[in-house]
Amino acid sequence: MSSVLKNIKRIRDRYYLHRYIYPFIKRNKDRQISFENNICLFSFPRSGSTWLSEILLTIPGSCLFDEPLLRNTIESPNVLPRLEIRKFKEIAENNFYFFQPIPADAKEPECKTIFEILLKGQALSIGLYNDYGLHVLSKSKIFVTKFNHANLLSCWLANQFDFASISLFRNPYSCIASIIRHPLSKKLTIPDIIRIPDFKHNEIYLQHQERYNKIRSVEEYYAFLWSLNFKEGFKKNKGLKIYYEDLLLNYDSTLKKIFNYLKIPVPVSSVEKRFNPSKSTINYAIENIKNQKQIDSWKQSLSQSQKMNIKSILNYFEIPEFYDSVD
């Protein structure tokens, strides 16, 4: 980036801070976190979380805190994400892993303070808010936080704060096929010797170290992460659980289920989101959405060896829900 562009970005960011962020933080200094004003959406990358968050944003007076735990893309499973590429500085400075666990009963006062800053609307970050418009912050009363990297700490977080918790998961084959086809996944390489980095509360990974060390492919690595997140996050989370496929096939009834849980009338504009591609939809998927082929598209995009590699990880974690997906 040239010095001229850097200066333009610096001036623009300064304007955003003073025009939108500082007033937003000031307005929320005494805010209390409650079920009525905070919705946390827990999911896994390429599982429909952007679509569902856009549906939730049809709630009047809502705004989005977008992926606060995101730090860079995964280039190697052996290292921690780089600090300089992040949305929420305080999280990055605590050296969280890509999918950071915190045990449900852990005493983590520093982490609690960090998440309290986030959920109260006190986080000093432009990237956290601007994907869906900084201008909506001045009218926002309900905060929707979209987490794609927090399933392994979701139970701990629910023990710390009172918020509406929604978990969204997708068939692992479909999810991993979408990840592999995404341009950012091309950066990931699996080293000859794969190891678990030294990060806080990595014990849950170390329990599976023998199987983890046998990973040799990209799809196995993502299947391992998906399975760990599914078993230790989605299955144990006490909030509302939604499958992407149910939202896709039974949109109206699933919509009612979501908004009944939130104790909010179904917004009229949420019905219109059914066939609208989300902001994160990449080109090849738009045709699938139009033709309603999202559910089975993975069967053509994954090779047989990739399917069997994913299945072997699911078998290891004893996740029977998807045993019949592959013959």
* Beta partners for residue 63, in sequence order: 143
E strand or H helix that includes residue 295: none
Which residue ranges form the domains of the chain, and what is each CATH number? 17-325 (3.40.50)
Q: Indicate whether 167 pLDDT > 90.
A: yes
Each residue's pLDDT tens digit, 55-113: 999 999 999 999 999 888 899 999 999 888 888 888 888 889 999 999 999 999 999 99
Answer whether 0.85 is exceeded by the pTM. yes
Give me the helices (H) in the chain, please: 3-16, 22-27, 49-56, 89-93, 109-119, 154-160, 172-181, 203-206, 209-212, 218-229, 244-249, 251-262, 283-290, 298-301, 304-316
pLDDT tens-digit map of 184-201: 888 899 999 999 999 999
Q: Is the pLDDT of residue 286 over 70?
A: no
CA distance 32 to 47: 30
Q: Reply yes or no on whether the pLDDT at 288 is more than 80.
A: no
